[in-house]
Structure formats: structure tokens, C-alpha cells
């Protein structure tokens, strides 16, 4: 069984909006719904669980009914951090998932996720125990010690990987990692991959995409809107 865990517990303060980013609308549809539809349509996803920001659970249920997101089976409370939100979802699945089941973790604010990226993440997880959507780095990187004013040493980009979501893990490994993180006092990890790294666990990479970006700024919203307008006109896949 494969369960998609869609993280929707954040407020997105960098947008300076009263509405969380995942509930902002693009072309009259909430960003969150674009994301849910991608997993709803994927043949290998059996169910969806969403750690959701307090006060928006009923709105999410209404959207699921309106847009026929029938795979949404659980809505749990979001946490004070991304780590806590994921943990809430993982703990909710204790009586649902077997050890070898796969949990596909994805940001609600990465709505342009493709079916191929989901498939690649699941496939890698089946083979290796994890599958993190990722991209090789094309830009040049420098270390900086003064907040980005200057740099003195470049970084070999051939040794760098940009990690996105989805990030898929076997359920037993995912549950164990979150339990161990609490025992070790790890409480504000930016993602489960960060926890795995702190625990000395290797992670394995799957296909990512430049289109699979996180909606963070107004410019990102404009790019998303332009993409879906072009898609409606048959100009892109």
C-alpha cells in the first residue's frame, strides 16, 4: 500500500497574506487542490493523509468533496514545525500501515508535481527503502560568512544534489526515524531527509523537475498561473 502524506500545516508567512499559501487560488482553484489532484490521479496511490493547519480542516474537507478527491482518508492536526506535522501523520498511520508500506511525503505548495516524479519516487523506495525527488545542481555555489555580501570559496557542484519532495520511505523506517529523533532531541528538522542524515541513514534519489518548485513568492504564483494557462491552450504537457 502507498499512502501520500501531503503537508499543509504551514502558514507561509513570507507571502504576507492572511490566507495560507496552500489555500490561495490560482485560476479559481486552490493550490492545495492541484496537489491533491495529482495524487488522486496516480494509480499507485491508495490513500491520502493531510496534516492540516488548525482552522482549515473543514475547508479542506469541503474542497475534497467539491473536487472529488476520494482518496483523502485522514486529516490530522498540523504541528508547530514541518517535522511535527509529518510526525502527526506518521503516528496516525500506526494502525493502518504495515512495515513495508510506502509513505510518499509531499509539500502541498508544490502543485506542479508530475505523475512521472511520483512514480520514480515510489520505484526508488521499493528498491532502496527511500526515494527523494532531486536534481543535479547547474548553478555555481560559494560559501559565504557575511550574509551573502561576499564569497571566498566555491563549492564543487558535481557533489551537490538539490532535494525536493516527494520523499518516499518504507513505513517502518519512517516511523522509527521520527521516534528516534524525539529521543535524541531533534525537534525542528526541515524535512525527514534531514532527520535521516542526522541519524546516519543513507537516502536514495529519484527523478525531480524544475517545474516541481515550491510556491514561496508572488513570482512563483505568476509562473504557476502562466504554466496552467499554457496547459489549457495545449502549449505544454
Residue 151 lies in a domain: no
Percent of the residues in the chain that have a pLDDT greater than 70, as a whole number: 95
Percent of the residues in the chain that have a pLDDT greater than 90, as a whole number: 74
230 to each of 31, 37, 130, 183, how far by Cα in Å? Answer: 17, 18, 34, 49
Q: pTM of the entire structure?
A: 0.92
Confidence of residue 12 (pLDDT cuts 50, 70, 90): low
Q: How far apart are CA 83 and CA 93, in angstroms?
A: 16
pLDDT score recorded for residue 222: 94
- 19-43 tens-digit pLDDT: 889 999 999 999 999 999 999 999 9
Q: Is the confidence at residue 4, as pLDDT, over 60?
A: yes
Phi, psi of 126 (to 5 degrees): -60, -40
pLDDT score recorded for residue 155: 76
Cβ-count burial of 142 within 10 angstroms (0-12 exposed, 13-18 middle, 19+ buried)?
exposed
Residue 39 lies in a domain: yes
Range name among 68-77, 114-123, 213-222 with the lowest pLDDT average: 213-222
Cβ-count burial of 221 within 10 angstroms (0-12 exposed, 13-18 middle, 19+ buried)?
middle
**If we measure between CA atoms, which residue out of 112, 64, 56 comes closest to residue 85?**
56
Domain count for the chain: 1
Sequence-ordered alpha helix ranges (H) in 43-149:
57-66, 82-92, 115-128
Residue 87 lies in a domain: yes
Which structural domain, as residue segments, surrounds residue 224? Answer: 2-143+156-232
- 199-219 tens-digit pLDDT: 999 999 999 999 999 999 989
Residue 29 lies in a domain: yes
Residue 163 lies in a domain: yes
Residue 37 lies in a domain: yes
Cβ-count burial of 96 within 10 angstroms (0-12 exposed, 13-18 middle, 19+ buried)?
middle
Q: Is the confidence at residue 85, as pLDDT, over 70?
A: yes
Range name among 6-15, 101-110, 187-196 with the lowest pLDDT average: 6-15
Confidence of residue 221 (pLDDT cuts 50, 70, 90): very high
Residue 149 lies in a domain: no
Residue 64 lies in a domain: yes
CATH code for position 172: 3.90.550.10
How many other C-beta atoms are found inside a 10 Å radius of the C-beta of residue 219? Answer: 9
pLDDT score recorded for residue 16: 45
Amino acid at each position: 500500500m502507498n499512502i501520500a502524506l501531503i503537508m499543509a500545516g504551514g502558514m507561509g508567512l513570507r507571502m504576507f497574506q492572511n490566507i495560507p499559501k496552500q489555500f490561495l487560488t490560482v485560476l479559481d482553484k486552490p493550490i492545495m487542490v492541484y496537489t491533491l489532484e495529482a495524487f488522486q490521479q496516480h494509480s499507485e496511490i491508495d490513500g491520502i493523509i493531510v496534516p492540516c493547519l488548525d482552522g482549515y480542516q473543514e475547508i479542506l474537507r469541503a474542497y475534497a468533496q467539491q473536487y472529488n478527491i476520494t482518496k483523502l482518508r485522514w486529516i490530522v492536526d498540523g504541528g508547530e514545525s514541518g517535522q511535527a506535522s509529518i510526525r502527526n501523520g506518521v503516528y496516525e498511520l500506526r494502525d493502518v500501515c504495515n512495515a513495508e508500506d510506502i509513505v510518499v511525503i509531499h509539500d502541498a505548495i508544490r502543485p506542479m508535481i508530475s505523475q512521472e516524479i511520483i512514480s520514480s519516487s515510489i520505484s526508488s523506495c521499493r528498491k532502496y527503502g527511500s526515494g527523494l525527488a532531486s536534481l543535479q545542481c547547474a548553478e555555481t555555489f560559494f560559501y559565504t560568512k557575511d550574509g551573502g555580501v561576499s564569497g571566498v570559496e566555491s563549492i564543487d557542484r558535481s557533489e551537490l544534489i538539490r532535494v525536493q519532495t516527494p520523499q518516499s520511505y518504507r513505513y517502518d523506517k519512517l516511523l522509527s526515524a521520527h521516534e528516534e529523533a524525539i529521543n535524541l532531541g531533534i525537534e525542528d528538522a526541515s524535512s525527514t531527509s534531514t532527520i535521516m542524515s542526522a541519524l546516519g541513514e543513507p537516502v536514495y534519489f529519484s527523478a525531480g523537475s524544475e517545474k516541481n518548485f515550491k510556491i514561496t513568492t508572488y513570482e512563483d504564483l505568476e509562473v504557476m498561473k502562466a504554466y496552467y494557462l499554457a496547459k489549457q491552450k495545449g502549449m505544454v504537457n
